[in-house]
Amino acid sequence: MRYYPERVWTAVLLPKPASNNVVAFDHVVTFERDDVRVQTFRIVGEDEANPTNGAISHGSAVAVALLGETTGDIARLGQRNIEIVSIC
């Protein structure tokens, strides 16, 4: 993880999501792509993002497509669709 001391001053600690009904920051989301690949990522801040280790930035295209969706929803990601399988 990278450390940016200047960002500590502006950091905002968010509470854990109240429920797992809707995709939000800090959730672990499993989704299936059109090509049947199933992937799981935790939605985190940009400083914590590390897709290789299963953490994507809340500003990434995938996270933006997922945020606000529920299990079973199909989100649009560019020219493709992704279906939310689970939210934890």
Tell me the CATH architecture of domain 17-87: Roll (3.10)
**Structural domain spans, the chain:** 17-87
CA distance 10 to 82: 33
The amino acid at residue 56 is: I
Q: pLDDT per residue over 51-81, tens digit each? A: 999 999 999 999 999 999 999 999 999 999 9
Contact 80/62 with Cβ under 8 angstroms? no
Contact 34/81 with Cβ under 8 angstroms? yes
CA distance 74 to 8: 36
Q: pLDDT per residue over 5-56, tens digit each? A: 666 677 777 778 888 999 999 999 999 999 999 999 999 998 899 999 999 9
For the chain, the C-alpha Rg in angstroms (whole number) is 14
